[in-house]
Amino acid sequence: MVTKARVNEIGLTRNDYKGRPSTLCLGCGHNSIANQIIAVCYEMSLNPHDLIKLSGIGCSSKSPAYFLNRSHGFNALHGRMPAIATGATTANRRLIAIGVSGDGDTGSIGLGQFKHMVRRNVPVVYIVENNGVYALTKGQFSATADFGQQLKYAGVNELPPIDVCLEALAADASFVARSFAGDSNQVRQLLKAAISHKGTAVLDIISPCVTFNNHETSTKSYPYGKAHEEPLQDITYIPEYEPIVVKVHEPGEVQAVQMHDGSHLMLKKLDPDQHDPTDKVGAFHLLEEARQAHQFITGLIYVDAKRQTLAEISHLIDTPLALLPEERLRPPREALDSIMEHLTCCRKV
Amino acid sequence: MTSLVSKSNGHQSVINDFQIMIATVNGSGSQTANTVLLRAIFRMGIPVTGKNIFPSNIQGLPTWFSIRVNKHGYIARLEDYHVLVAMSQQTIGEDIEMLASGGICLYPEEWKIKRTRQDITYYPMPVKALTDMADVPANLRPYIANMVYVGVLATILDIDLSQIAFAIDYHFNGKAKPVNMNMAVVRAAYEWAQDHIAKSDPYTVEHMDTTNGMLLIDGNSAAALGAVFGGVSVVAWYPITPSTSLIDALRQDLTDLRTDPDTGEATYAVIQAEDEIGAIGMVIGAGWAGARAMTATSGPGISLMSEFAGMAYYAEVPAVIWDVQRMGPSTGLPTRTSQGDLISAYFLGHGDTRHVVLLPGSIPEVFEFGWRAFDLADRLQTLIFVLSDLDLGMNLWMSPPFEYPDTPLDRGKILTAEELDNLDRKYARYEDWDGDGIGYRVLPGTDRDTGAYLARGTGHNAQAVYSERAKDWVENMERLNRKHDTARQLVPQPVVDQVDGAEIGLIAYGTTDACVVEGRERLQQQGIKTSYLRVRALPFSDVTCDFIDQHDRVYVIENNTDGQMARLLRMEYPELAARVFSLAYADGLPLTPRWMTTAILEQER
């Protein structure tokens, strides 16, 4: 018996969002994230032709090959995906950009580009698959590795870690979230929210490296993550076309955050005193306190759905620049004649 | 205009053939005075060029501005100057020492200098008295002081005062207050000179009609206009002398010409990046997505762009990079000119990389290459480097009006959704269907499953899929070589002046043209015939090979130390290498005809 595969609202199956088979290690957190990207794009009924997938260099950055075969992609240079994202989304503002980076790519070589992309609020879902280690070069510490952590070949890490979320917040990020590759539901909900966000959405996802950094003493491991993850909220993403079914009975318990595209994020707080993700100063406190207390908090840390994007600041027309016809790109002959006339007669007009 | 001063006092008059050197201190506002002089002489119909020789500094260091007046239309720099306006106390001794014999020196009379030279004429000017008298706020007096030498020179050289008024009006965009304030000082100085200076030198200007219909513009402004008429839509850049004014001009032009007057919406974006790596990355991202994208930079920026340039070459992404060259290596002389980036631009990136490089040699070419570069980038699906330099980019040059592009935008090989539907074969990004080494692009956002591909700098096969197969690598590089040969046919071809019976060939490129044109004339006067080929792009054309073959000795004249073009020619044509002689020199200033002719005569003796 042939069962018909389920299709989404634009008639595509989940398989239509897949990529090539992964060449990453079995059990790698990055594979799990790739699967959530596939699931989310399918569930949101996104047209793969509207999506672009971008990355830098490293294990994480290989993964765009493993999802969205029907989408264009650009596997850029080490740490330089933000620049490619900035150029591509400026050239065509209709594109939905999903970028995948790693902790070396973002936290070290690309930290400058990362912060400037965030500062410009370039419309991109920027995922950091954070495992605290350089795996392709066989196990050096990355800048997000814990202070005092030990690795087989690298020895003891004597430097404090860079916190990707804190860096993003300090650069005026409009969307900052942290998650854990082992918490696929949360990853999915946050990805949906990130895709609905109009500016840069930074998703710092702890994504264990099963080969080099998955032992229990590592805070970037599955065992540690499963044992210590402290979600801030139960997150439910509600698309713009669905009614909000969760009734807000008691303020402070469930918080509804409206995204730019009209969708909502329902945040059920797990602790009544917990963080309001629209409070920026609170977000700084939360991150720094968690850092000092070695707490592994996950969830939506900060969101400002209204901050202007680079395209808005640039007053770009709606038509993608890349698709403008000649008559919109090349001024007419009369325009050149008039400039020449002004220059030859030496009088400003 | 009739002058009250007696002319030439027994000397033979020197009319419309001399160089003025104005020595000032930077930050003193002398640029206004200098360009006013230049423009006034230009408007008298006399060929003129101006060069600003300035320090990397905001205020207080010596700066020179040379104005060459030449009735024959020669525009090269001269070592000699005949009229010195000495307004820089730090350098006045040296400046006077360098003045040509028979020359004149204008200086502020309050400086009480020793008149050590008998072979020149000194004209002290009451700068302080004249500016004190002017009806000008005290804080503006230092700036207005420069207008004193404009007025005094107008008397001495017989510059048409009405053209000075016109030039001031142009400079201040017709704003009455600064126009009147500056003009009042000019008039006062002019009248003082009429009453007090007894002219005893031969230098004077006379009306001509050679500049009618011409314009004065700097190369960076011309490049910006070229880009606008080339349909640029994404610009990313990082400030660096001497390219910054190109972007300044471009921003203004885009605001004027590409903003919707009703909605204020822009059909372009200009992004100031965090560094040159960011700038080129944005440009490549935009080029990949289908925009006409460009950046402008100089040597240090080119160095930073190296990794991305190699990637764009290999992933085959179109974009345009202007390199307004300055002196390197390293930070070098940031405000001095050179042609030192030729080799680094051509091979920019690691591994086997060869880029397309355009070499404009005049203002009309700067404009033309400005728009054509985008067509070439899209046609060849690669980076196009355009090498200007500080001399061309930041100085004012005479030019005929620019010609509107004679061909529509060439977006190159791009398949639309409908074209993908009608393909008689499976789409593959890097397959060479036409034998020219160039595949077909499908832009992101094209609503078809078959067109998607993953652009990458990693090894890939024709389908753009990661591959470490030896055959894939070799085939890809062979195709890129075919593409390079296609570029050879498409880039601007050399300009050749073949002279019958000339044993000597000269090869030059870029701004060096001005020196070579005049130097050839001087050699001709000494009985030495030369042919001349001006290279306008890399890769080389077969025309260049033939030219070398047809001459016994070919001198390659360029403004760098290593003789970079000569090296490239020897590498490209090893069988002709023995005929290629390098004449390369770089001291921060444009090459002069005297240097060139002396160097060639030394070789030929």
Which one of A47, A329, A333 has the shortest CB-CB distance to B409? A329
Q: Do A112 and B275 touch (CB under 8 A)?
A: yes
Q: Is residue A325 part of a domain?
A: no
Q: Is residue A71 part of a domain?
A: yes
pLDDT over threshold 60, residue A252: no
∠ at Cα B554 (B553, B555), nearest 5°?
A: 120
The complex's ipTM works out to: 0.96
DSSP secondary structure letter of residue B394:
H
Q: Do A84 and B267 touch (CB under 8 A)?
A: no
The predicted model gives B191-217 an average pLDDT of: 96
Q: In chain B, what are the domains?
A: 14-208 (3.40.920.10), 217-399 (3.40.50.970), 417-489 (no CATH), 495-604 (3.40.50.920)
- C-alpha distance from B574 to closest chain A C-alpha (Å): 36
Reduced to 3 states, what is the DSSP secondary structure of residue B591?
Answer: coil
Q: Do A326 and B231 touch (CB under 8 A)?
A: yes
DSSP secondary structure letter of residue A316:
B
Q: Please name which of B303, B399, B318, B411 lies closest in space to residue B350, comparing C-alpha atoms.
A: B303
Sheet architecture: strand order including A201-206: A229-231, A296-303, A175-180, A201-206, A125-130, A96-102, A51-55, A72-75, B454-456
- C-alpha distance from A165 to closest chain B C-alpha (Å): 20
Q: Is residue A343 part of a domain?
A: no
Query: A98 at the B interface (CB within 8 A)?
Result: no
The b-or-e profile of B489-528 (16+ CB within 10 A means b, else e) is: ebbbebebeeeeebebbbbbbbbbbbbbbbbbebbeeeeb
- C-alpha distance from B445 to closest chain A C-alpha (Å): 5
Percent of chain B residues past pLDDT 90, beyond the cut: 93
pLDDT over threshold 90, residue B11: no
∠ at Cα A33 (A27, A34), nearest 5°?
A: 95
- C-alpha distance from B452 to closest chain A C-alpha (Å): 5
pLDDT over threshold 60, residue B4: no
Confidence of residue A15 (pLDDT cuts 50, 70, 90): very high
| β pairing state of B293-297 and B319-327 | parallel
**pLDDT single digits (tens) B463-494:** 999 999 999 999 999 999 999 999 999 999 99
pLDDT over threshold 90, residue B545: yes
Contacts of A310 in chain B (CB under 8 A): 269, 271
Reduced to 3 states, what is the DSSP secondary structure of residue B404?
Answer: coil
Query: A323 at the B interface (CB within 8 A)?
Result: yes
Q: Please name which of B513, B524, B519, B529 lies closest in space to residue B565, comparing C-alpha atoms.
A: B513
Residue with more model confidence, B49 or A294: B49
A160 phi-psi bin (left φ>0, alpha ψ -120 to 50, beta other)? beta
- C-alpha distance from A38 to closest chain B C-alpha (Å): 16
| β pairing state of A175-180 and A201-206 | parallel
Confidence of residue A347 (pLDDT cuts 50, 70, 90): very low
Q: Do A76 and B225 touch (CB under 8 A)?
A: no
Q: At what angle do helices B542-549 and B564-572 cross, to 10 degrees?
A: 90
Q: Do A321 and B233 touch (CB under 8 A)?
A: yes
Smallest CA–CA distance from B173 into chain A, residue: A348
pLDDT over threshold 60, residue B406: yes
Q: Is residue A7 part of a domain?
A: no
Query: A73 at the B interface (CB within 8 A)?
Result: yes
pLDDT over threshold 60, residue B518: yes
Q: Do A49 and B445 touch (CB under 8 A)?
A: yes
Smallest CA–CA distance from B164 into chain A, residue: A346
Contacts of B43 in chain A (CB under 8 A): 346
pLDDT over threshold 90, residue B169: yes
Residue with more model confidence, A336 or A155: A336
Reduced to 3 states, what is the DSSP secondary structure of residue B364?
Answer: helix
CA neighbours closer than 13 Å in the CB half-sphere of residue B306: 13
Confidence of residue A2 (pLDDT cuts 50, 70, 90): low
Range of lowest pLDDT (B6-20, B42-56, B218-232): B6-20
- C-alpha distance from B456 to closest chain A C-alpha (Å): 5
Cβ-proximal residues to A127 (8 Å cutoff; 6+ apart), any chain:
A33, A60, A98, A99, A100, A101, A203, A205
Strands (E), B468-547: 495-497, 504-508, 530-534, 537-538
Confidence of residue A108 (pLDDT cuts 50, 70, 90): very high
Q: What is the mean pLDDT of chain B?
A: 95
What pLDDT shows up at residue A5?
A: 85
The predicted model gives A190-214 an average pLDDT of: 96
pLDDT over threshold 50, residue B1: no
What pLDDT shows up at residue B8?
A: 44
Which one of B173, B267, B371 has the shortest CB-CB distance to A348? B173
CATH code where residue A70 lies: 3.40.50.970
- Residue B74: CB atoms within 10 A of its CB come to 18
Whether cis (ω within 30° of 0) applies to the bond prior to B329 is yes
- Which structure tokens are listed for A136? 């392709």
B520 membership: H or E segment, kind and range: helix B512-525
What pLDDT shows up at residue A250?
A: 55
Which one of B265, B448, B451 has the shortest CB-CB distance to A316? B265
Whether cis (ω within 30° of 0) applies to the bond prior to B55 is no
Confidence of residue A348 (pLDDT cuts 50, 70, 90): very low
d(C-alpha B279, C-alpha B281), whole Å: 5
Contacts of A318 in chain B (CB under 8 A): 265
- C-alpha distance from B421 to closest chain A C-alpha (Å): 15
Q: Do A347 and B170 touch (CB under 8 A)?
A: yes
Contacts of A323 in chain B (CB under 8 A): 290, 445
Q: Do A328 and B286 touch (CB under 8 A)?
A: no
Query: A120 at the B interface (CB within 8 A)?
Result: yes
| Residue A126: strand pairing partners | A99, A202
What pLDDT shows up at residue A339?
A: 97
Query: A320 at the B interface (CB within 8 A)?
Result: yes
Strands (E), B495-574: 495-497, 504-508, 530-534, 537-538, 553-558
pLDDT over threshold 80, residue A272: no
Is the CB of residue B361 less than 8 Å from the CB of residue B510? yes
- Which structure tokens are listed for A219? 């805070």
Structural domain count of chain A: 1
Is the CB of residue A311 less than 8 Å from the CB of residue A90? yes
Contacts of A326 in chain B (CB under 8 A): 231, 408-409
Percent of chain A residues past pLDDT 90, beyond the cut: 82
Q: Do A47 and B307 touch (CB under 8 A)?
A: no
Query: A278 at the B interface (CB within 8 A)?
Result: no
Percent of chain B residues past pLDDT 70, beyond the cut: 98
Q: Is residue A236 part of a domain?
A: yes
**pLDDT single digits (tens) A324-337:** 999 999 999 999 99
Contacts of A330 in chain B (CB under 8 A): 229-231, 371, 405, 409
Q: What is the mean pLDDT of chain A?
A: 93
Q: Is residue A333 part of a domain?
A: no
A contact test, residue of B256, B320, B454, B467 with most A CBs within 10 A: B454
The residue range of the domain holding A102 is 14-313
d(C-alpha B90, C-alpha B438), whole Å: 59
